């Protein structure tokens, strides 16, 4: 475990939805990764909360199974030490009935002593955020604590406004951490580092030099065991108004006054206010063939499993530059790619390939920075071609990277909110998306292992998607 002046103070995590899919796949493995890295407090407890009535031993076994499936495996870290700190509080948690959570928290405080900090983590559907927040206030667990809300923070402008009101009736803004794990990825943070710290790009990050920006997150997976969640959300809520728009803000933000975390957060939120509201003409939605046959999906479901959008940023820097966003299930390849396409030089060279000056950020895994350039082909001819050089971030430096969830959980422990979303930016995201959410287009059918409906390619003409060319 971590020790020394930068170690987080003793902590009690309360994980709401501890037996659910999100906790199983992402949150619990992230905490174990922090244990391996020595970044957890010297003393801590994790209390899983749910409607069931598991024993501590049953919950510990579930956590072990999560690690076996999603890693790191228990054998790769201090499993016995972590297991001893896991507790379960059953019976749910509501304003009228706290179940066993209050007693379990009191026992953990007694074991740790010295007034540990309390972190509430809501790994539950958005509909449960409000009631759980009210229950935390009712049972006096809010003072001095921190709360982590999973995305999406709301499901519409109206629900966001209501949830934001409830959150601020219980917590101060400085206590609230609205997580978007794409902001915790190593390669996402390199977007602004490469731009602001390198003269090669710093002076060319505007409409004069950039043709378009593509943010593309195709997935080969289907909805699998998450069908009920997906039926309640769809690709627009699950990805477009959360991850993709936050990534667009990372690319589009103006230079901050400094590179301190607070300055970066302010300019990221500010540029979201310049996003032009999407209309039906800006968006194509699709549904993969066979989706309606999935268990838990309605036979006449109109839920979209694919969305492509053409978005504009209405400020001087980006006037006329399209931001092209795309994501979907059951597509031909899996990527998490941000591509900045630079304009071709004028007049350039005879017979040079066009559209080949591209700075790319692959966000998946440990991340990779890619640069595509026009070069002379080897040999006696003067033919020109293009090639890509790549910098894998995992091999560029000796220090290991942290998975996004682990990085963000550590930021919560340390009280650093710079990589978390804020209410002013989120309010505008919901305004930008209001028309397409309040009146969703009819999804177009597309075959599995394709690049989605053909209309998605027509939407961005004369541009072309870099992935799938």
Name the residues annotated as catalytic.
243
In total, the chain counts a number of residues equal to 469
Q: How far apart are CA 54 and CA 447, in angstroms?
A: 42
Residue 124 is classified by DSSP as: S
Could you tell me the end-to-end alpha-carbon distance of the chain, in angstroms, rounded to an integer?
48
Q: CA dihedral defined by 346, 348, 354, 356, rounded to 10 degrees?
A: -100
Other beta carbons less than 10 A from residue 15's beta carbon: 28
Residue 16 is classified by DSSP as: E
Read off the tokens for 158: 């109206």
Contact yes or no for 273/283 (Cβ under 8 A): no
Block residue for tokens 């895994």: 365
What's the order of all strands across the beta sheet hosting 11-16?
86-89, 44-49, 11-16, 117-122, 146-149, 176-178
Contacts with 224 (C-beta within 8 Å, 6 or more apart), sequence order: none
Q: CA dihedral defined by 97, 102, 103, 105, rounded to 10 degrees?
A: 150
DSSP state string for 65-78 = HHHHHHSS-GGGTT
Q: How far apart are CA 417 and CA 408, in angstroms?
A: 9
96 — alpha (psi -120 to 50), left (phi > 0) or beta? alpha
E-strand ranges in 227-366 read 283-288, 306-311, 323-328, 337-342, 358-362
DSSP state string for 178-210 = E--GGGGSHHHHHHHHHHHH-HHHHTT-STTTE
- Mapped onto helix, strand or coil, the DSSP state of residue 117 is strand
Residue 440 is classified by DSSP as: P
- Mapped onto helix, strand or coil, the DSSP state of residue 383 is coil
Q: How far apart are CA 3 and CA 92, in angstroms?
A: 34
DSSP state string for 295-329 = TTS-TT----SEEEEEE-B-STTTTT--EEEEEES
Contact yes or no for 357/372 (Cβ under 8 A): yes
| Rg of the chain over all Cα atoms, to the nearest angstrom | 23
């Amino acid at each position: 475990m971590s020790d020394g002046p930068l170690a987080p103070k003793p902590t009690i995590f309360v994980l709401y939805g501890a037996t659910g899919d999100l906790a199983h796949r992402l949150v619990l493995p992230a905490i174990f990764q922090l244990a391996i890295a020595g970044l957890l407090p010297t003393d801590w407890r994790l209390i899983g909360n749910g409607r069931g009535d598991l024993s501590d031993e049953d919950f510990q076994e579930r956590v072990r199974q999560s690690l076996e499936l999603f890693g790191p495996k228990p054998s790769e870290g201090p499993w016995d030490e972590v297991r001893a700190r896991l507790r379960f509080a059953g019976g749910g948690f509501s304003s009228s009935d706290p179940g066993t959570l209050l007693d379990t928290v009191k026992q953990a405080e007694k074991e740790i002593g010295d007034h540990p900090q309390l972190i509430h983590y809501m790994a539950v559907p958005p509909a449960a955020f409000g009631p759980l927040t009210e229950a935390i206030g009712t049972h006096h667990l809010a003072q001095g604590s921190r709360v982590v809300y999973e995305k999406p923070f709301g499901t519409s402008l109206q629900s966001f406004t209501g949830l934001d009101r409830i959150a601020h009736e219980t917590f101060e803004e400085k206590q609230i951490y609205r997580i978007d794990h794409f902001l915790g990825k190593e390669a996402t943070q390199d977007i602004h580092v490469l731009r602001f710290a390198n003269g090669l790009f710093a002076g060319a990050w505007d409409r004069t030099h950039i043709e378009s920006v593509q943010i593309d997150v195709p997935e080969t997976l289907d909805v699998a065991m998450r069908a009920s969640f997906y039926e309640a959300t769809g690709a627009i809520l699950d990805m477009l108004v959360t991850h993709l728009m936050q990534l667009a803000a990372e690319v589009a933000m103006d230079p901050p006054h400094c590179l301190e975390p607070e300055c970066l957060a302010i300019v990221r939120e500010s540029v979201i206010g310049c996003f032009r509201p999407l209309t039906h003409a800006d968006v194509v939605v699709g549904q993969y063939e066979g989706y309606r046959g999935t268990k838990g999906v309605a036979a006449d479901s109109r839920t979209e499993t694919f969305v492509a959008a053409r978005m504009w940023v209405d400020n001087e820097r980006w006037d006329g530059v399209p931001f092209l966003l795309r994501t979907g299930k059951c597509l031909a390849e899996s990527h998490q790619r941000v591509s900045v396409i630079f304009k071709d030089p004028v007049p350039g060279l005879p017979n040079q390939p066009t559209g080949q000056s591209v700075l790319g950020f692959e966000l998946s895994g440990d991340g990779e920075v890619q640069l595509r350039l026009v070069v002379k082909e080897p040999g006696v001819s003067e033919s020109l071609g293009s090639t890509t050089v790549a910098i894998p971030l995992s091999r560029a430096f000796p220090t290991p990277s942290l998975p996004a969830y682990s990085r963000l959980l550590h930021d919560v422990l340390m009280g650093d909110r710079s990589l978390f979303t804020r209410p002013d930016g989120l309010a505008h995201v919901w305004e930008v998306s209001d028309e397409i959410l309040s009146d969703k287009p009819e999804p177009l059918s597309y075959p599995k292992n394709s690049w989605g409906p053909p209309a998605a390619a027509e939407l961005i003409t004369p541009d072309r998607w870099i992935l799938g060319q």
